[in-house]
Amino acid sequence: MNVIITGASRGLGKAIAHVFAQNGHDLVLTSRSEVALYNAVQELMTMYPDVKVKAKAFDLSVKGQAIEFGQWILSLDLSIDVLVNNAGLFDPGSVHNEPDGTLEHMLAVNLYSAYHVTRSVINRMIEQKGGHIFNMCSIASLKAYPNGGAYSISKYALAGFSTNLREEMKPHGIKVTAVYPGAAYTDSWEGSGVSRKRIMEANDIAKMVYMAAQLSPQACVEEIVLRPQLGDL
């Protein structure tokens, strides 16, 4: 399978890349920072020398670049088997006092990125009559919490995107899965003072995404909800 992952330079995206590569699947990766992306590619190529890894950096919060990423994927002329819309950013804040522009930025990074990347490649997937799209939502897509603010709004919107796409893609044989993780230890949590033992590992989410991609064509995991054993923070 060819597995396309956005936000693959670190965190959940990189963990998902590892799980698919361990199982012999080829990767097409992107993130915003070129250096971080190429470090991740080096790591993956060293650990899994038989796996083909292609990578190019794009700022997916910019509509033109999200579309360019999609066009680059199409130019590779590969079957698009799995697309993981994972790139995202958490800016904590509250609706009543976060800086002006926070919502616009959160929507651009967390929602429009997935929307434009998906729209750029979806006709190819429809022609293929198959494929699987994962959208990395959050428990912040399901439940409001203090300091959620614009981030939570953007993740509710991403869940709306995902459930709409699921309905639309049913007759085309394309699966759509919304992933709703609670807290999982990645760079987003560095310096937060939260213990690694209190929250999930990035690999926990990666394993569930991988497993959901293994089912028969007639089965679709619509939602994956994961929380730390002790519940949300």
Ligand X SMILES: NC(=O)c1ccc[n+]([C@@H]2O[C@H](COP(=O)([O-])OP(=O)(O)OC[C@H]3O[C@@H](n4cnc5c(N)ncnc54)[C@H](OP(=O)(O)O)[C@@H]3O)[C@@H](O)[C@H]2O)c1
CA atoms 65, 106, 186, 134: torsion sign: negative
* CB of residue 181 to ligand X, shortest distance in Å: 4
**Contacts (CB under 6 A) with ligand X, residues 191-230:** none
37 binds ligand X (CB under 6 A): yes
The answer to whether 149 touches 105, Cβ cutoff 8 Å, is no
Give the strands of the sheet with 174-181, arranged side by side: 53-55, 26-30, 2-6, 82-85, 131-136, 174-181, 223-226
Among 4, 13, 153, 213, interactor with ligand X by CB under 6 A: 13
Binding mask 93-132 for ligand X (x = CB under 6 A): ----------------x-----------------------
Contact 70, 117 (CB under 8 A): yes
Choose one: 8-16, 46-54, 118-126, 212-220; the region binding ligand X (CB under 6 A). 8-16
Tell me, yes or no, if 151 is annotated catalytic: yes
Cα-based torsion angle of the residue sequence 165, 171, 174, 180 in order, rounded to the nearest 10 degrees: 40
Local structure of residue 54 (DSSP, 8 states): E
29 binds ligand X (CB under 6 A): no
Judged by CB under 6 A, the residue of 21, 26, 55, 61 near ligand X is: 61
Give the nearest distance from C-beta 46 to ligand X in angstroms.
19
Q: Among 26-34, 44-52, 94-102, 127-135, which window interacts with ligand X (CB under 6 A)?
A: 26-34
SS (HEC) of 99-155? CCCHHHHHHHHHHHHHHHHHHHHHHHHHHHCCEEEEEECCHHHCCCCCCCHHHHHHH
Binding-site member from 2, 3, 11, 131 for ligand X (CB under 6 A): 11
The Cα 147–Cα 212 span in angstroms is 31
Q: 216 vs 229, which CB is nearer to ligand X?
A: 229
Q: Does 59 bind ligand X (CB under 6 A)?
A: yes
- List residues with catalytic annotation: 151
Residues that bind ligand X (CB under 6 A): 7-13, 31-33, 36-37, 59-61, 86-90, 109, 136, 138, 181, 183-184, 186-188
